[in-house]
A and B are shown apart, each in its own frame.
Chain A
């Protein structure tokens, strides 16, 4: 298995533009997590899905952020409109059945100018 795959690896966009981050979890994993990492706030859990259903989105900072998981092999995190303070590295992780070890993608480094 290729592991958790995130795309793009880097994204630079202008303030106000829509940004879509993508994640392909490891096949067979039934939980998927979106995290944001910044120097100031460290690693923050934004939202997590279990069996494609959003379970806890209390970490989503604002209504500008939305996440979907249309099927077991794909999830998106969308920011619309983007702002400079959204600049961060966004990680996706998937977890084996039973909620044990999390496998992380390589992250998407987002810069909003």
Chain B
């Protein structure tokens, strides 16, 4: 069965600090990879996705993620966070069977 592991449960940063959130998955087949964001009181929104091609994916709001197949990882990065990035971030994996599995989420708090 597929699974997704997010290493950091809660990350606290000051504005302008760099961000990297870890995500590892376990599944032997072809996967599509996603990062979702959930701002306080809102529903999940897609940040970025990887299907194939360039393993470095750029998403909205300055976020990017790199797919490293050999490490089964898809870490999320942002060079300089803002207070408005305070949210919960979910990594997700979709298999070709259409099943979507989410990590437990990482809560990011950015201090102004």
Contact = CB atoms under 8 A, between A and B. Distances in A.
Contacts of B97: 55, 99
Q: Which one of B43, B49, B96, B99 has the greatest number of beta carbons of chain A within 10 Å?
A: B43
Interface residues of B, number: 23
Given A33-B100, A45-B100, A45-B102, A100 B94 contact: yes
Interface of B: 32, 34, 36, 42-46, 49, 51, 90, 92, 94-102, 104-105
Given A55-B99, A56-B99, A91-B43, A102 B104 contact: no
Interface of A: 30-31, 33, 35, 42-43, 45, 48, 50, 55-56, 91, 93, 95, 98-107
B96 A43 contact: no
Given A45-B101, A107-B43, A100 B90 contact: no
Q: What 8 pairs across the A-B complex have the smallest Cβ distances? A: A99-B98, A104-B44, A42-B104, A31-B98, A106-B43, A43-B102, A99-B94, A104-B43
Nearest to B94: A99
A99 B100 CA distance: 8
Given A35-B102, A99-B96, A102-B100, 8 more contacts: A42-B105, A45-B99, A45-B102, A91-B43, A99-B95, A100-B51, A102-B34, A106-B42
Contacts of B34: 101-102
Given A43-B90, A102-B34, A95 B100 contact: yes
B99 A48 contact: yes
A95 B90 contact: no
Nearest to A105: B43
Contact of A93 (B32, B96, B100): B100
Contacts of B95: 99
19 contacts: A33-B100, A35-B102, A42-B102, A42-B104, A55-B97, A55-B99, A95-B100, A98-B98, A99-B96, A100-B32, A100-B51, A100-B94, A101-B34, A101-B46, A102-B100, A104-B43, A104-B44, A104-B45, A106-B42
